[in-house]
Amino acid sequence: MKKIEAANAAEMPGQPAKRNTPQKAAVKHALGEATGFVSAQQLHQTLKKHGSTIGLATVYRTLADLAQAGEADSLQSKDSEVLYRACTTSHHHHLICRECGLTLEIEAENLEKWADKVATEHGFVQPSHNIDIFGFCAACQSAKTESGVAK
Amino acid sequence: MKKIEAANAAEMPGQPAKRNTPQKAAVKHALGEATGFVSAQQLHQTLKKHGSTIGLATVYRTLADLAQAGEADSLQSKDSEVLYRACTTSHHHHLICRECGLTLEIEAENLEKWADKVATEHGFVQPSHNIDIFGFCAACQSAKTESGVAK
DNA sequence: TCTCTTATTGACAAAGATTCTCAATAAGAC
DNA sequence: GTCTTATTGAGAATCTTTGTCAATAAGAGA
Ligand SMILES: [Zn+2]
Ligand SMILES: [Zn+2]
Ligand SMILES: [Zn+2]
Ligand SMILES: [Zn+2]
C-alpha cells in the first residue's frame, strides 16, 4: 500500500521528485562541450560515438527539461529540427543569411540587460531569450542582382 | 527545341520567373488575417474551411517563400512546428512563460533599430528578426515554490 | 485572342523529427 | 538492504515537412 507521507517537504501538488542519473549528466555535459547549437539527434550520435548507450528518447526528454529549466536555449534550424545550446556557453546571438546560411556572431551587452529587465519587470524569473537577425548577405545580394532577379 | 533567348532581362543564372497565382494570394491573405503566429497546418485548415481547395504542400511552399522573401517571420513553437506571421502585422515581440505559455507582447522601438543597424552594418539587406524572451511567470513561480519543488 | 513554354499545383508517397508506450532498471529515502 | 517509483531504452506510433509527378494554368509572344 502507498505511503502518503507527502507533507514532509519536497513535493505535493507539483511534479514528482526529479532524480539524478548518469544519462542526464551525459546529455548536459555533451551539450556543454558542443560549440554552438546542436540537435537532439546530433547529441545522440555524439554520445553513442563516445560509448554511451543512451536512448534517443532520453536525449529528447533531457533536452526538453533543460530548456524548460532555463538551462538551455533552443532555436529552430532551417532543416526543421530544433537546436539546443547550453546557456552557459559564451552567450551571443546570430546574424543569419536567409539564402546561403552564412552566420555571424553578434554580441550586445545592452540587449542582454534589456531582455532580462523586461522579464523581471513583468514578474518573470529565470529569464532567457532567443534573438536572431536575418537578412541577405552581401554576396547573395549581388548574386541576385546580377542574375537579373533584382527588384 | 528550347528557346535560349535568355539575355533579354530577368533570369539567367538565378531562379526562374515567379508567377502570381490565386493560391499564393490566398496564403498571403490568410496569413495577414491571422492574429499572431500560425502554423502551415493551421493556415491550410483555415483556407479549406473558407472553401479553398489548396494543397498542404502549396501552403508550406508559399510560406517558405514568404519567409525567404522577408515578408513573413517564423518562429519555433513548443509543439515542434514552425509558426509564421505576416511581417506587416504591427510588429512586436513576446515574453513567454516556459511553464504555462502565458504570453505578453513587448514593444521596443530601440531594439528594432538596433537589429536593423546590426544587419546593415554587416552588409545584410532586407533585415528581419526573431526576438523572444522566456521565463517563468509570477503565477507559475509561486506555484512551484509552494509545492516544494522550489530551489 | 491563341499558342507555347514551363512554373505551379495537388494528391500521395517518403523522409524525418519528436513523442508515446511499456516492461525493465535503478535513484533515493528509510 | 528494501521499497517505491522516477527514469530509461527500444520500438511503435504520430506528426510535421519535403519530394515526386502528372495535370494545370500563368505569362510572354505571335
Ligand atoms: Zn548569403
Ligand atoms: Zn542574449
Ligand atoms: Zn506561467
Ligand atoms: Zn522587432
pLDDT for B30? 95
Angle at B144 between CA B139 and CA B145, to 5 degrees: 100
User: Hey, are the CB atoms on A82 and B104 less than 8 Å from each other?
Assistant: no
Per-residue pLDDT of chain B (151 residues; tens, 9 = 90+): 333 333 333 334 556 789 999 999 999 999 998 877 899 999 999 999 999 999 999 999 999 999 888 888 887 887 889 999 887 667 788 888 776 667 788 888 999 999 999 999 999 988 888 888 888 888 877 765 554 433 3
* Nearest CA-CA partner of A131 in A83, A75, A85: A75
Res A14: pLDDT: 59
B146 contact residues in A (CB cutoff 8 A): 13
Write down which residues 68-127 in A have CB closer than 7 A to strand C: 79-82
Residues of B in contact with A123 (CB under 8 A): 137-138, 141
**Residue B91 to residue B116: CA distance in whole angstroms:** 13
DSSP 3-state of B134: strand
Does the global pTM surpass 0.85? no
A137:B130 CB<8 A? no
B136, with CB counted inside 10 A (0-12, 13-18, 19+), is buried
Relative to beta strand A93-97, strand A125-136 is parallel
Cell 498542404 appears where? B56
| Interface residue of A130, A145, A151 to substitute, partner B, most B CBs within 10 Å | A130
Distance A145 CA to D20 C1' (A): 31
- Scored b (16 or more CB within 10 A) or e, A28-50 reads bebbeebeebbbbebbbebbeee
Closest protein residue to D24 using CA and C1' atoms? B21
Task: Pinpoint the alpha helices (H) of chain B.
Answer: 22-33, 40-49, 56-68, 109-121, 138-144
User: Which pLDDT does position A31 carry in this prediction?
Assistant: 94
Q: How far is A44 from chain B (nearest CA, A)?
A: 18
Give the residue, A53 or B128, on which the prediction is more confident: A53
pLDDT of residue A3: 31
> What pLDDT sits at residue A21?
96
The predicted-structure confidence for A91-146, as pLDDT tens digits, reads as follows 788 887 776 667 788 888 899 999 999 999 999 988 888 888 888 888 877 765 55
The nearest CA of chain A is from the CA of B62 a distance in Å of 15
The pLDDT tens digits for A63-100 are 999 988 878 888 888 788 999 988 766 778 888 777 66
Calpha distance A126→A143 (Å, rounded): 43
Report the candidate in B110, B115, B114, B14 with the shortest Cα–Cα distance to residue B70.
B115
